[in-house]
Structure 1
């Protein structure tokens, strides 16, 4: 599960970077957001959807890991999080990424969403290597 720990640390660093990148000063930012950030291209929506699905898969694997008694490597969740804590974190992470993408400059949006998707894909792959899968009903 060490690979998962590396991904969790990278995941946290990516959220901080996304916040810093998208932070712009006051009034100019509000005017810029109003004019430039409303429309999303089809590719932005596709990336956001893929990210949401990957985040859900990662959360499902994390819940399974907790059921099996594995120790969680994400420092935000702690070593043995409850299902409620995992679900709350998943919602917060998803909304944070989508909100950052919504206020990001149009050119930065696919990079931000692509990075979030890549991080989740790495987490899913690491979880799969640890024997965790996602089962669909």
Structure 2
């Protein structure tokens, strides 16, 4: 399947992984999460695309690997990819990584099947690991 696909994996509490996939070739970058600090997913994505010399308009599809990971990270990544989907008219897909684990071949097969069948932009509906744990700040 020709095209260039952006994949964001936010399922690991310890790291953020961003991948470009084109015709069997994966280009991957991993950002470790530091204890007590949140990663700026948008800044990481911007940095990754600039280093790869890729513009959003060059992308054929967007994929969010979700199902595990933090509630806030899932919401943030889904919002970013859904915004790109809407503005750039790029189709998007959310994949529940709990079904595939780290089997990239199956993840790519699922992605290819979806994008072959759908050329329209569709939004990612976030898949969460559990209920959010939202607490009030202490004063």
TM class, shorter-chain normalised? under 0.3
Structure richer in helix, relative to its length: 1
Structure 2 length-normalised TM: 0.27
- Which structure has more relative contact order (CA 8 Å, sep 6+)? It is 1
Greater share of strand: 2
TM-score scaled by length of structure 1: 0.27
